[in-house]
């Protein structure tokens, strides 16, 4: 049986809970609102918010994940912020991780965000230059 709210746990299976705060979590076929753990392993589960030092997700879905090191296999996530991530057939909306290995399909990652930022800055600079030159030509 799992102990919740700060106590160590081994297995959580087939449950639906709002919040779990444990040292080590193994979650299978469950729906959890918030999971805070040093180590988390999810299989066939859905989590709204996951914060873990080390995590392994297999065929699971996460809304927002803040992780140190993680492995995601055949999973989906809305927003992932991690120090290092290994992926296998993963889909994310936003991925912010300096080290990414494997197959991941993302809408916005760090390289894309930097490219968009540089593009916006250059575009703004070009428009400011054009406006300056237009004002100067009218005088």
The residue extents of the domains of the chain are 12-109
Cα diameter, the chain: 80
As given in the structure block, the two tokens for residue 4 are 């919740």
Q: What pairs with residue 25 in β-bridges? A: 40
- Higher pLDDT, residue 128 or 6: 128
CB-CB neighbours of 100 under 10 Å: 20
Q: What is the pLDDT of residues 39-57, one digit of tens each?
A: 999 999 999 999 999 999 9
- Quick check: 8 pLDDT over 70? no
C-beta separation of 3 from 18 below 8 A: no
Work out the pLDDT band at 3, boundaries 50, 70, 90: very low
Residues 90, 109: Cα–Cα separation, whole Å: 13
Confidence (pLDDT) at 4: 53
């Amino acid at each position: 049986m799992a102990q919740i709210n700060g106590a160590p746990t081994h297995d959580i299976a087939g449950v639906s809970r709002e919040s779990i705060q444990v040292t080590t979590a193994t979650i299978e076929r469950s729906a959890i609102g918030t999971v805070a753990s040093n180590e988390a392993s999810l299989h066939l589960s859905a989590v709204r918010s996951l914060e873990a030092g080390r995590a392994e997700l297999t065929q699971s879905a996460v809304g927002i994940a803040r992780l140190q090191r993680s492995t995601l296999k055949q999973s989906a996530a809305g927003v992932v912020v991690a120090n290092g991530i290994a992926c296998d057939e993963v889909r994310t909306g936003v991925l912010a991780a300096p080290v990414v290995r494997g197959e991941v399909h993302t809408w916005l990652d760090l390289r894309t965000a930097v490219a968009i930022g540089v593009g916006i800055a250059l575009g703004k600079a070009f428009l400011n230059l054009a406006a300056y030159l237009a004002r100067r030509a009218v005088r």
